[in-house]
Copies of this chain bind each other. A is one copy, B any other.
Amino acid sequence: MPARTFADRTRDLVRDEALERAAELLVAGGWRGLRLQDVAEGIGVSRQTLYNEFASKQGLAAALVLRRTEEFLAGLEAALDGEDDVYRAWVEAVRTTLDTVARDPLLRVLLTGQGAEDLLPLLTSEAEPLITAARDRAAAFLQRRRPELDAATASAAAEIAARLTISHVVLPLHAPDVVADQIATAVVRFLM
């Protein structure tokens, strides 16, 4: 049981607001345009406090990436678990992913690594892990629903879905509904 003192709670509050504000400024002006001064002023603390909390600008970025990653994976898992049928579950997961990425440039960079000249310098070490993380969570979902599947098949199907989804983010040619149906169909048929 965590002994959360008052100091702990204010600390978390600062982290929350700082990351939120940093995300806004980051997508607005890029990595280079992000100044710690602005983040501090934006939430009403001193610049020094941010250094106490995140150690450096890179540290803040790392915390930001960590948070967005977890949010995305949680949303993905919720979409998958929200439906009984595997096909419909996957349709929902793809659709929400497309939707989320469409309105969040930061997530797009984290997932695809596209147009990152100015956004997040740590994409090289974070873009690939996020994709494999998404694949692994989706594979786990598959094995939860279809316990008879072997791990390799589930992982392969999940990876196909992840790669196709990202591909359609990078190069959209069809409506999201059509894409979601195609990917979900490919997955269920791949599973025999």
Contacts and interface: CB of A to CB of B under 8 A. Distances in A.
Contact of A163 (B131, B156, B167, B190): B167
A113 to B, nearest CB: 8
| 4 tightest A-B CB contacts, nearest first | A163-B167, A189-B189, A189-B190, A167-B167
Contacts of A175: none
Interface residues of A, number: 20
Interface of A: 117, 128, 131-132, 156, 159-160, 163-164, 166-168, 171, 173, 182, 185-186, 189-190, 192
A185 B189 contact: no
Given A159-B182, A189-B190, 11 more contacts: A117-B117, A128-B173, A132-B173, A156-B182, A160-B186, A163-B163, A166-B167, A167-B167, A186-B186, A189-B189, A189-B192
A8 to B, nearest CB: 39
